[in-house]
Amino acid sequence: MKDRYNKLYPISWDQLHRDSKALAWRLLDLGPWQGIVAITRGGLVPAAVIARELEIRVIDTVCVSSYAWQDQGQCSVLKRFQPLAPEVTAKTLIIDDLVDTGRTAKIVREMLPEAHFATVYAKPAGRPMVDTFITEVSQDTWILFPWDSEARFVEPLADQKGK
């Protein structure tokens, strides 16, 4: 699986905040929303920003495990979400940081078929699974989120090319 990522796209905390706020702007006119279901763990930070911007106080999680460093393994549902009623679910946002292959999104869509699914970043294979996103990146790009990185020196691209 690791061979499928040829590019690395590091995201800073500031960029993630700006992109999450841009997602909130897009979602604002589509509401009003009654609640958010964040997909853990990646969806927690964007969900917090969006909840603040849209004044949403009802927040829950669905917990799905699928990633290790540059490797998307089998999806495992650790905590399900049980919607209260279809009319409430239709006014619920599902928030995640990224839709990649769409496998996690498919599992969560089955739990909340009427909800509006929004991600900050989307890749072509998973993009059809979400209703709203901000930035598309190529399928062969690994997005390095700020919670997975530390600040350190990195060689210029030209120096890395010969290695």
Catalytic site includes residue 131: no
Q: Which entry of 29, 71, 96, 131 is annotated as an active-site residue? A: 96
Q: Which entry of 97, 140, 148, 159 is annotated as an active-site residue? A: 97
Catalytic site includes residue 3: no
User: How far apart are the C-alpha atoms of 50 and 95, rounded to whole Å?
Assistant: 9
Q: Which entry of 60, 100, 148, 159 is annotated as an active-site residue? A: 100
Catalytic site includes residue 71: no
User: How far apart are the C-alpha atoms of 47 and 126, rounded to whole Å?
Assistant: 19
Q: Which residues are catalytic?
A: 96-97, 100
